[in-house]
Structure 1
Amino acid sequence: MPKGKRKGKSDRGRFDGSLHTSDDDSYNDNNSIISNCSENKSLEDGEDIEEFAQEQFEDKLVEMLDGLSQKSSQGRINSIQLLRKALIKKYVPNFVRERHFTICDSVEKSLKKGNGLEKSAAAELAPLITVQLGEEDAGEIVDKTLRPILITIACDTSVNATARAKCCLALGMMGFLSGRQLGDILSLMQNLEGIFSGSYLKGDGSIPNITPEVANLHAAALSAWTLLLTNMPPGSLTDLISSKTLPSLDQLSELLESPHLEVRLTAGEALALIFEEGRKDNSDFADDFAMYISETFKKLATDSHKYRAKKDRKQQRATFRDILSFIEDDIVPEIQVKFGREILILDTWAKRKQYEALCNVLGPGINLHLGENDLLRDIFEISAPIVQPHEAPAHAQQHMERCRKRLINAAAFKARTISRAKNRDKRSDF
């Protein structure tokens, strides 16, 4: 029996347009994409190309948002990850502002009903929404909506440790960016301390035996706690430690004895930041403790135990050398971050912590956001660069022109491909 013609992908879900097709409406195979698009926009115009690329990018974002509500758990995870990568790659505050309720609702559902992987993916997306929105009321709405469920998951011992760690980091970043009142920040810091206190020494002075996954959770909670510490009002730190609202220096120093590298490093950074903030108000802040803890820092800065990985020993020695230099000589090693034609100088432990936390959220997109995101520029006090077009060297102008032409050609090729694909479908129907 002869088999009928198989339907291709282009035939799926489409009516037969040939019933109403005339000779005038038939597809002209000689038409080019340039002639088809010339009535609407000129691909030779740089502004039109940029607008076209922006429209294409936002169309993809809309498709990703639609994918957040699909039934498949893995499909939702994929959509969340794609959306996160897209928001890292480009700064689109207007798009996020118009749809922040939809995004928040999807993230909240994934946090409540998803498995460990979905909870982790949703927790990674949550602070990125706040970074995109910046200092807007919408950012505070996002924080108020997602904070309760994030705290619940972070403190739930039945949830996967990795998902809890992601929630801790999200809480730290969202709390830092939202600019909440001191009472709200302290309440969140106490929740986080309740998590990383599991790495304090036991009552008999012995080191608790915890798994690497739980150690990473404690390090994440302590890292978020330290980030929130950079938001403390001037002059409040000493009183908060004295009143036991915040953990004592002795308690935090116990974390330096942890067998897990991340816990030791994060504890050292937390102590350095406390000394930095304390010395702003009193140059003799905790001098007796500084002498005691310097010995511990020296041991960690010269650690040569062979049972630790060579990479871990190297990282630990470098970090604690910097911390020891600050405790003893009040010197913070300066770090320069170049982005575009600008340079960001990290000359305090607070700035280093804030930059590290933002890098964890934005990854490779940190340089783009430092150049375009007003919130980040305000945090690091980056002034607007003064650049005169004629100051650019000739080879730089040539490079920019080549890049512009390459973008125009790429956009034209993409538009041509899309148009031809549509016209092929019409031709097959005809």
Structure 2
Amino acid sequence: MGKRNKQRKNIAMLDTDDENSSVSSSSTARSDLMSVSGTDEVQVDKDSLLEQALDALYEKRGSTREKALAAITDAFNTNLQHQFVDKKFVTLLHLCLNSIKKGSSKEIALACHAIGLLALTVGYGDNAREILEESVIPISQNLKSQSDSLKTVSLVECLAIVTFVSATETEETERSMQIMWQLLHPKLGSNVVAVKLPAVVIAAVVSAWTFLLTIMDGCTLKSKDWQEYISYFSTLLDKDDRSVRIAAGEALALIFETVSIEKLATENKTTPDGSVPEGNKSREGYTHILGLKSKILNQVRSLSAEAGGKGSAKKDLNSQRNLFKDVLEFLEDDHAPDISMKIGGDSLQTLTWSELIKLNFMKHFLGGGFIKHMQDNEFLQDVLRFTPKRKHLLGEKHQMSSGEKVCYALLQLGLL
């Protein structure tokens, strides 16, 4: 009883007028955490603040839960909260799932981001498996009621991150990709009504689907599936929205990197019992794919040199041109873009479309927390093939000598 009263006292300090509440920035989230603590001290017990934010997720008032979730996501985004996760993993996961089931669109978006950050924090293992098993059904059920773009995009991105981290079987990844595909390309029936998705949702779902394709083996998918994907993404290249075109262009580049046309041509030469299949289906599929690729080449060539139009955003136009120049070079010469970026004085390099798409999706999801996670998150370092030089030089628990300190300083400045 005393603990619950203390919890309510902390939560009351977090509450403000519902209509004026806002969790739009990290500074607001940190301010909310400070208000929970009831002190003006600069040094604050971070675990205590997270505990208080976690307690606030039990409250009925939506604005209280939203502020608590914003504080939690800010804490997880700016630091790896391993100690807190060790103690409160199950509680945090199920309270976030409760927000997804019952919360407003804003609360759902925050809860989705918190679950994604939780998955990235725990990395491989049993906890990751539990996140996937507990999250898929609530997310897929919530996606059936596409009330607004914020909610739909957040749910899809959460599903993508959780699956990417947690899936150990091909079927699990395929299940999540199929949930996304149904949004883009629903199978219409008596109980299904076609819904026109906003451009922002289409672009986000395509990007999430493509992100999961990076962990799929191209051999597991059938020729007819690839043809369906290629044909659909080709139609998206003709859409008015540039974000949709860019997402579709990346998807197509990854598809052609993942599976060869030659493989599609020979895939169905025999049936499981060893007999020859009916007709010349494999040759027809090969011809069809060649025709689609020729069409896509023309579309890509046009988009790589688009002049723009009235009211066009120059930034988006340049992004489109650059992306489709890379796609064109890949389709014509089989050369994927070679990208390098600095992270704390170290270089992270991508050599394939798969690596680039993983990198871009993680940068998008983590936002301002990307650099911190890349420096400290071993799961991300593993999947993006990034090893800070200081780990080679020092090891995890090595004590620096004066000479090593000089070397480390030079590394940080990029002079070594």
SS for the counterpart of 1:314 is helix
Name the residue aligned to 1:296: 299
Please say if residues 241 and 247 of structure 1, whose CA atoms lie closer than 8 Å, have aligned partners that are also in contact: no
Q: 1:394 to 1:293 in 2, by over 3 A?
A: closer
Cα distance in 2 for partners of 1:231, 1:218 equals 21
SS for the counterpart of 1:152 is helix
Deviation of residue 209 (structure 1)? 10
SS for the counterpart of 1:127 is helix
SS for the counterpart of 2:297 is helix
Please say if residues 196 and 219 of structure 1, whose CA atoms lie closer than 8 Å, have aligned partners that are also in contact: no
Name the residue aligned to 2:27: none
Name the residue aligned to 1:310: 314
Name the residue aligned to 1:273: 254
Correspondent of 2:172 among 173, 178, 184: 184
Cα distance in 2 for partners of 1:144, 1:248 equals 27
Name the residue aligned to 1:235: 219
Deviation of residue 183 (structure 1)? 1.6
Please say if residues 190 and 246 of structure 1, whose CA atoms lie closer than 8 Å, have aligned partners that are also in contact: no
Deviation of residue 100 (structure 1)? 1.2
- Which residue identity is paired with 2:249? G
Please say if residues 97 and 133 of structure 1, whose CA atoms lie closer than 8 Å, have aligned partners that are also in contact: no
Correspondent of 2:111 among 119, 122, 139: 122
Correspondent of 1:112 among 101, 105, 113: 101
Cα distance in 2 for partners of 1:235, 1:72 equals 49
Q: Deviations over 1:394-417 (max 9, x none)?
A: 8949x99xxxxxxxxxxxxxxxxx
Cα distance in 1 for partners of 2:382, 2:363 equals 16
TM-score (norm 2): 0.73
Name the residue aligned to 1:254: 235
Q: Deviations over 1:64-116 (max 9, x none)?
A: 21222222211110110111011010012232132111111211111111111
Name the residue aligned to 1:225: 209
Is 1:62–2:64 an aligned residue pair? no
Cα distance in 1 for partners of 2:334, 2:298 equals 16
Cα distance in 1 for partners of 2:327, 2:408 equals 43
- Which residue identity is paired with 1:387? L
Please say if residues 196 and 217 of structure 1, whose CA atoms lie closer than 8 Å, have aligned partners that are also in contact: no
Please say if residues 255 and 264 of structure 1, whose CA atoms lie closer than 8 Å, have aligned partners that are also in contact: yes
Cα distance in 2 for partners of 1:248, 1:72 equals 43
Cα distance in 1 for partners of 2:404, 2:261 equals 41
Correspondent of 2:393 among 381, 387, 394: 387
Deviation of residue 350 (structure 1)? 0.8
Gaps of 5+ in 2: 1-8, 10-41, 189-193, 266-285, 395-399
Please say if residues 346 and 388 of structure 2, whose CA atoms lie closer than 8 Å, have aligned partners that are also in contact: no
Q: 1:321 to 1:306 in 2, by over 3 A?
A: same
What RMSD, in angstroms, separates the aligned Cα atoms of the two structures? 3.1
Q: Is the radius of gyration larger for structure 1 or structure 2?
A: 1
SS for the counterpart of 1:319 is helix
Cα distance in 1 for partners of 2:387, 2:264 equals 30
- Which residue identity is paired with 1:197? H
Q: 1:287 to 1:249 in 2, by over 3 A?
A: same
Correspondent of 1:168 among 144, 156, 173: 156
Please say if residues 82 and 121 of structure 2, whose CA atoms lie closer than 8 Å, have aligned partners that are also in contact: yes
- Which residue identity is paired with 2:353? W
Query: Equivalent pairs: percent with the same residue?
Result: 25
Name the residue aligned to 1:348: 352
SS for the counterpart of 2:225 is coil
Name the residue aligned to 2:35: none
Deviation of residue 311 (structure 1)? 2.3
Q: 1:280 to 1:174 in 2, by over 3 A?
A: farther
Name the residue aligned to 1:319: 323
Cα distance in 1 for partners of 2:262, 2:145 equals 38
Correspondent of 2:120 among 109, 122, 131: 131
Name the residue aligned to 2:3: none
Give the structure, 1 or 2, with the largest relative contact order (CA under 8 Å, sep 6 or more).
1
Q: Deviations over 1:299-356 (max 9, x none)?
A: 1111113133222212211111111111111122211122224211011111111111
